[in-house]
Amino acid sequence: MKPAPLFSAFTLLLAAYVFAAPPARAQTPDPLTQALDRKARAVEPQVIAWRRDIHAHPELSNREYRTAALVAEHLRSLGLEVRTGVAHTGVVGVLRGGKPGPVVALRADMDALPVTERVDVPFASTVRTEYNGQEVGVMHACGHDTHTAILMGVAQVLADVKDDLPGTVVFLFQPAEEGAPAGEEGGAALMLKEGAFDDPRPEAAFGLHVAPAWEAGQIAYRPGGEMASSDGLHIKVKGRQTHGAYPWGGIDPIVTAAQIVTALQTIPSRQLDVTVAPAIVTVGSIHGGVRGNIIPDEVEMTGTIRAFDTEMQKDLHRRIRRTAEKIAESAGATAEVNIRIGYPVTYNDPDLAREMDATLRRVAGDANVLEAPRQMGAEDFSYYAREVPGLFFFLGIRAPGAPLEEYAPNHSPLFKVDERALVTGVRALSHLAVDYMRMHPSAE
């Protein structure tokens, strides 16, 4: 990702000769490449219009009925094979090119968040609905409206060059990336379970996520582990209730829980090799007792576990169980540890990332393709990237030159987007699909 060290002029010339890129990628863009850019710019106003329409009508996870209908209607108008109702509201479109070649998957997520919008734009959301028994506002506070609009634009661009397309594209419009409602399945895992990668099966998958950390026109990604795994943690410490003035008459689960919380923090900092990858164990809630002079029977804790390495993730789980159970045992209490497996590590296949780096640089320019730091957030694109090699990148949405403090982070009611970024997303996904096909012509 970073420029190679400088060597002598002779060495550079020799390297350029030995490692020269294929002519199609090193010379003046060919007609198909030029057509992708021309058509991306032509569809830009419609992409912005789609984005604003979806933004004004946000829908929560597994309830993306209107958005799915809009997407399906558009894909059918382009002549794609369309399946609806995948993973509740997901839409899968298949575009078969006029020439033989590999199958590439492109993914966008469609769901919004239970957030009340505070951005002053004409298309701001005024939608309200019920979530977990409460009335809430609904907002595209994570930019999934832009993802959906961008991929709709990509479908338009690639359908327009269908006869020259050397392969097949599977468009995945996915619900519930933010997590399915309680008691429901959803998201990428359910999309795969219900056949999103079946007939045809992709050989590579690409996706993006907008982020204000970078400016519009910039792209950032990281080979290997880019976003953390995310597992839920629930620990119930059981003691024996007694009077707060006579703690020896029972077993105090509150003191035991406090010892467990402290000890859990030493697992990442003292028991794991931090040179391999970072990891986090966070306890976000503790509940126990009803008044100050009663030691309760039990305490419940919930939290999250984050890691960037699959083996480290498994090791973390073992150590968390051992730590909680042994500390509780030493106090005469018990600890029931329940770890809910969540999203895997979002892993960018290093070979695929290396292969497609030139494509991203051609789209955005060398200076605008940056190395992304590891993100402790999680993404369920990770499920697709476990099935086939994947590349997931960040698309900058901050106005060029604007200070970062003027742009709220994802999930904020003040989250906003510089819409000049959208055409970069359309171009990037379109070129990634076509370039991958061209670089793998022997695939069927």
Which residues are CB-neighbours of 47 under 8 A, at least 6 positions away?
A: 149, 150, 152, 153, 422, 423, 426
Q: Considering the candidates 221, 343, 347, 383, report the single residue annotated as catalytic.
A: 343
Secondary structure letter of residue 306 according to DSSP: E
In terms of Cα–Cα distance, which of 328, 156, 315, 168 is closest to 235? 328
User: Alpha-carbon distance 303 to 305, whole Å?
Assistant: 7
112: helix, strand or coil: coil
Give the angle 184-190-191 at the CA atoms, nearest 5°.
Answer: 135
Q: H or E segment at 257?
A: helix 253-266
The total number of residues written for the chain in this structure: 444
User: Alpha-carbon distance 334 to 299, whole Å?
Assistant: 11
User: Alpha-carbon distance 320 to 422, whole Å?
Assistant: 43
Residue type (1 letter), 220: A
The Cβ of residue 185 has, within 10 Å, a number of other Cβ atoms equal to: 14
Q: Name the pairing type of β-strands 369-371 and 219-221.
A: parallel
In terms of Cα–Cα distance, which of 112, 307, 105 is closest to 208? 105
Q: Where are the alpha helices (DSSP H) in 139-199?
A: 144-160, 187-193
The Cβ of residue 318 has, within 10 Å, a number of other Cβ atoms equal to: 10
Residue 213 near residue 421, CB atoms below 8 Å:
no
User: Alpha-carbon distance 162 to 36, whole Å?
Assistant: 11
Residue 241 near residue 297, CB atoms below 8 Å:
yes
Locate 30 and state its tokens. Answer: 């060919």
Is 419 labeled as catalytic in the residue annotation?
yes
Secondary structure letter of residue 404 according to DSSP: G
Q: Considering the candidates 81, 185, 194, 419, report the single residue annotated as catalytic.
A: 419
User: Alpha-carbon distance 170 to 123, whole Å?
Assistant: 30
Is 59 labeled as catalytic in the residue annotation?
no
Catalytic residues: 343, 419
